[in-house]
Amino acid sequence: MTPADATCWTLIGAAAGGDAVARAEFARLYQPVARTYFAARWQVSPLRSALDDAVQDVFVECFKPNGVLGKANDSPGDGFRPFFHGVLRNVARRHEEKHRPGVALPEDQAADESSLGKEFDRAWAVSLLREAARVQAESAGDDGRKRRRVELLRLRFQEGLPIREIAARWNDDAAKLHHEYATARDEFRAALHRVLTFHMPTAPAADVDAAARGVLSSLG
């Protein structure tokens, strides 16, 4: 992640100005969202084969001289999220118009923006949660207990193991592990709050807290 005092706007400003490190970080953060959005938009379309080209076009649009990043405005609320959603939508529509004469696209492919907006929200949420997990792991450093709690969350959520099974695997007391699990979740929430603050640097704390709840609820 970017330094603790950075925000999405300082990253975007540096990337728009040509900073190679900022551009690599920008791509790391937002490329998975772009890929998921196009995959959802074209899941039943011949344009699915254009997914890689569309993702590449997004970052060409962002990084080219006088590109779209230079038009992004530092604003409160959702921060960069709605702006990036608009960039993805515009790139998708350009590909659809380009291929429409030779490719039979579903009539409602470009019009179903409501469901596509939900897919974008889900992709954004997954990206935030992935980043929060990374921040939590980095924050653990060499602390053995904290690193163990990171692994506890991985086993619980990525592998779907119940606490009792993890306790048996680790030859540990289940009640004690439940306590560690509660602490691990608190640490994860703190990491998610840090990630959201990065993306929403001008938002009040209450809005960041609401966004955190929305991220979790958007995953169902």
List, for residues 141-182, the tens digit of each pLDDT value: 999 999 999 999 999 988 999 999 999 999 999 999 999 999
Query: Does the pTM exceed 0.75?
Result: yes
Q: What tens digit of pLDDT does each residue of 19-59 get?
A: 999 999 999 999 999 999 999 899 888 888 899 999 999 99
- What average pLDDT does the chain have? 86
Instruction: Note the pLDDT of residue 131.
Output: 93
Q: Can you tell me the distance from the alpha carbon of 208 to that of 196, in angstroms, rounded to the nearest whole number?
A: 6
Comparing CA positions, the residue from 219, 147, 158 lying closest to residue 187 is 147
**b/e per residue 25-55 (b: at least 16 CB within 10 A):** bbbebbebbbbbbbeebbeebebeebbeebb
- Over residues 70-91, the mean pLDDT reads 79
Q: Tell me the pLDDT tens digit for each residue of 88-108.
A: 999 999 998 887 655 555 544
CA atoms within 13 A on the CB side of 100: 12
